[in-house]
Amino acid sequence: MSVPADKHELYAEFGIASEMAQVLELAAGNFALDYLCLFFNPEEITDEQREMFRSLIEDVNQMTLGRLLKNIKTSATFDQNFLDTVETALERRNYLMHRFFRTHNFAINGEEGRRVMIEELKEIQNDLSRAHEMLYAASKCLQAQTGWNKVIDERAQRLASEGKRINI
């Protein structure tokens, strides 16, 4: 059975959007942890604090994007544009993962339907990317404020040079 090229493109765009959703979740988790780092000096971390951070990382990794964003929104005051962008991304992520194919139902069977689906996936990617960029920039600001950016950058460079993959 031959699969049309645009159907492959549709699946590729869905895969790209799914990856972006996961990267957004990681950025939200990083932002939450970076916010907590405001209260710790990276030069003076005790073993007890290290263990607390390990536990927090496990908690953050188990949270859904919605719970992470709810925690972020209640931890500080944010610009409304920031909140709206992140909320939109959450809605788009949930739609993508839980309702995208169901919503389009039989559209996947026709060329025009697949074209519409591909365009929608590109819009979803843009929304996810915009929120990721905001969370990433906010994380970088927090890291620079606390001095953690040096610690994080050194660790990231070492992992990249060693070609390591980390499971978090």
pLDDT digits (tens, 9 = 90+) for 83-121: 999 999 999 999 999 999 999 999 999 999 999 999 999
Could you tell me if residue 167 is inside a domain? no
Could you tell me if residue 50 is inside a domain? yes
Helix (H) or strand (E) holding 23: helix 5-36
- How high is the pLDDT of residue 106? 94
Report the number of distinct structural domains present in the chain.
1
pLDDT in tens, 20-67: 999 998 898 888 888 877 777 666 778 887 787 777 777 777 777 788
Could you tell me if residue 45 is inside a domain? yes
pTM exceeds 0.85: no
Q: Which domain holds residue 127?
A: 5-162
Could you tell me if residue 132 is inside a domain? yes
- How high is the pLDDT of residue 146? 73
Identify the DSSP state of 42.
G
How far, CA to CA in Å, does 113 sit from each of 117, 119, 120, 122, 152? 6, 10, 11, 14, 45
Could you tell me if residue 139 is inside a domain? yes
Q: Is the pLDDT of residue 159 over 60?
A: no
Backbone angles phi, psi at 133, to 5 degrees: -60, -40
Could you tell me if residue 58 is inside a domain? yes
Could you tell me if residue 168 is inside a domain? no
